[in-house]
Structures are given as structure tokens and as C-alpha cells.
Structure 1
Amino acid sequence: MRARDSVIGVVAMTFVFGVAVATSVPAASLATVGDFGSVQFDAEGASAQVFAGSGDGDLPAVARDGYVIHTPTPTPTPKAVSSQGGYGGAQCQAGADASPEATEFSWVYPDGFRMSDGFGPRAEGFHKGVDMLNGPGVPVHAIAAGTVIAASGNGGTGGVYLAIAHKVGGQALCSMYMHFQDGSLMVGVGDAVTAGQVIGLTGRTGNATTEHTHFELYGADGARFDPMPFMTEHAG
């Protein structure tokens, strides 16, 4: 009787153990390597990452959404820039005459910005440009190839600013950028710039309550106009 009870106990324990294994261990862990063949991971550039299996096993491919890594644009070393040059219509025309024809265009902030005050009347008076908000120290880019015609390292209401003359369709066009960080200008009067070149860093110098770039466009007559339609058409 005792022997029979012992045998029954062993059989019962074996059954319980077998059920536990079958319900808790993944089936794939009990398979051999030959059941799945080889496994390969591919990651090419910004394309989707793909898991693929090969061999006798009939496994589906699994794909994940791709992604793009943006590498920050290296920021050039600032240079000592004194207040010089002029940003009137005559200086705009002279600078445009010395500049190559602009064929490429860039936004002041290629990676985006938040629009604040637009062009036109406001409580403080007529706003001659647009205010583009961004974080402190974010690089500011030249909108097109041209020649720097005015710079200020410590200027009044505009704070630290730059003006650049361009030639677009044979006509003079000047862009002006205000409120850079102190000591962040990368170029000075007479320097040639290219489209998208970093010219300084976002700040709040002068008459500014937060970090942003006040951006203007004007021609040889010196009259400012709304820069947004031009930028949308040329920079996309």
C-alpha cells in the first residue's frame, strides 16, 4: 500500500510540474536555433528599423516607424563687432551692388519659431517688422547671400543688431535683425554671408521684454514692408 501511494504521489507531482512548465515558459524558449534560422537587424540612415527572420520558420517581419536625428548646426565663434555702417536706403543699394544675386533663401529660424507682434500698427506705434520668439541663445540665420552693411554691438532700442544687403532679381533688398545676445555677433560690416549662415544668437538686448528677433525687410527706398509674404514665397 505504501509503495502504491508513493508511486501515485510521484506521478501527481510530475503532472503538476509539467503543467507549470507548459503554462509559464514561452514556447519559443523551448525551440532549437534551427527552428528559426538566422535573425538580422537592419537600420539604414533615417529609414524604418526592420526585424526579419530567415530559415525554415515562417516568421512575419516587424517594422517600427522611422525617425530622423537632427544634428545642431555648429555655432561659429563670435567676433568683436563695433557699431558702424548705416541701414538707410542708400546703404542698402550700395551693399546690394556689391553682393551676388541671391538664389537660395532661409528662414531666420529654419527649425521654427513662434510669431509675436506682426507688421503694422500696435499700441506702441507702427511696428516696422515682425517679432519671432525663440529660446535664449538659439542661432539666428541670414535669409540669403549678401553683404553686412550695418552692425551694432551695443545699439539703443534695437539692442545688438545687424543689417544685410541682398540682390534679388537685380533689385536691392535689405534684411535687418535686432536684439541679439551681447557679444554674440558672428559677422561685421563688409563681411559676405551666405543663405542660412549663423550670424548671431537670440537675445533680448535693447527694447525687448523677452528673447526674440525683430526682423525687417526694406528696399533701396528705405521703406519697410511686411516680410512674411516674401519669406513664405522664397523660403517656403
Structure 2
Amino acid sequence: MTHHPYLNPLCSERTLHHFALRRAILNALCSHLEEFSGTLLDIGCGYMPYKPVVVNPPSRVTKYIGLDLDDSIYKKPESQRPDLGWDGRTIPLEDNTVDCALATEVLEHCPDPELTLRETLRVLKPGGLLFFTVPFLYPLHDVPHDEYRYTPFALERHFRNAGFTRLELKALGGWDASLAQMIGLWLRLRPMSSMRTRAILSRIAMPVVRYLAERDRPPQVFGEVTMLTGISGTAVKPALTA
């Protein structure tokens, strides 16, 4: 897969804390591209980094709509501003208007996740697909708008309560990826006395972090002592019944 500075960064001293996670998110998204078609709503789109991915084959998306908060923390240039703003509660679209939806690393920021999911369900057409990811092992970020770290079992409950069906969940990374991520997070984000110390330690640890990330095998079952870096999933709006 082609390297991209955000979507699929190379392992380097500066990316030790997120290169494996971003790669895992991109791989999970790409595994579902053939299921995307028609109008796609990107919820919490930020700088819209996934737009070039979802509007090109094998996706069959013909219209992309980026949605983000009216008072988003992202200060975007004109070319990267979302197509729609919202208040975090009511999506400004009519019922049954989008064919598929995307919510990458968004639900952990929603104070009422079931409200967000019900709104997503409302604007999806019957049979419409939602793809999403959430972090499990990650520091506080976008403070104070960081609300939750979900287990698979909490996600199952929230999606069921919101009315979605055919929920499928997968781990983005397992034990080895979790250790790689924690080492990277410690090296890149922990306060240190000097940049030189950080650079030296990052350089020493980089082969270990890369090795752990490459040998990781995400768990296939969510059981006792399962360790995750994050979760990807898909869910479907029920089709209309006669």
C-alpha cells in the first residue's frame, strides 16, 4: 500500500506513537470499500483525510458529504472545510438520504453516543452501511471533548439500542501492537528534559517498535485478557419490511 504522511505513515522517530494505528485504520477501511456506493456521509470528518480513499475505486461512492461541528477545534483552510456543520446532536439532512456513512475515531468524542447513532440511522437509507473505528488504548486527546473508551460489549449494546443490525467488530491491533503503541506514546508524548533525549531514545527504540507492530496478530475473539489498540466495525440500517 502506498505510504501517505497521515493515512499510512512510515515508521520513523516522529511517528512511533501512531504509525501502526493509522495503518490499521486504513486497512480496515479499505477492506470495506467495495461496499460503499452512492452518497457517503463522513461524520466528524476533520480535515477529511479519507475523502480520496472513499471516492475512488473499488468504492462506488458518487457524492461525498463531510460533516463536522460548527465550532470544530480544527481550523481549516477553505478547501478543507466540511460540506455541512452540525451541533453534535441533529444531522442537518432529511431522513433516508445517504447510502453509507463513515465515523473514524468519532464516537469516543460523543457525550451521548446513542443519540449520534440514532441520528446516523435516521439519515441512512434502509440497508445503508456505517463503517466506524474507535480507540481503546490512547491518551486523552481533544480535551475536554474526549468522553469514552469502548469495549466491544459496550458497542454492541449502543448499536443495538440505536436500532442497527448486522454489527461486526474487529480488533485493530492486539498485544504486540499495544506494546508498540505504548512505547511510542511514551517516547513521543511523555514530558522529557530535552529534545535530544527524546530523539536518542526514539532512535534506539524504533527497531523494537517496528518489530512489534509487524509481528502483531489482532485477536479474533474478544475474551478474557484480550488486549486491543482499537476497534473497527460495520453496522447496517434494517431494510424496510412489507
> Which bracket does the TM-score occupy, shorter chain normalised?
under 0.3
TM-score of the superposed pair, with normalisation by structure 2: 0.21
TM-score of the superposed pair, with normalisation by structure 1: 0.22
Higher relative contact order (CA 8 A, sep 6+): 2
Report which of the two has the higher share of helix: 2
Q: Greater Rg, structure 1 or structure 2?
A: 1
Report which of the two has the higher share of strand: 1
